[in-house]
């Protein structure tokens, strides 16, 4: 886990509806479908960014 996010969780363990229908995940969300969906989304974004960077090199 990212250390800054871990520090954030010490102060605010998640935040439902932080931006309308977007939730800030907390420790209770680890391993849930929402967590897996978010992780898959961000892994896809990272892969896309790497592919784009490679195509520009």
H helices of the chain, in order, are 3-11, 33-56
How many beta carbons lie within 10 A of that of residue 13, not counting itself?
Answer: 13
Per-residue pLDDT, 33: 94
pLDDT at residue 36 in the model: 93
Residue 22: predicted pLDDT: 85
The predicted model scores a pTM of 0.58
Q: Which of 40, 37, 30, 41 is nearest to 5 (CA)?
A: 30
Sign (positive or negative) of CA dihedral 26, 23, 43, 51: negative
């Amino acid at each position: 886990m990212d250390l800054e996010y871990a520090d954030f969780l010490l102060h605010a363990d998640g935040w439902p509806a932080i931006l309308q229908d977007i939730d800030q995940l907390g420790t209770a969300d680890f391993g849930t479908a929402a967590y897996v969906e978010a992780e898959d989304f961000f892994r896809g974004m990272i892969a896309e960014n790497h592919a784009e960077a490679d195509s520009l090199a």
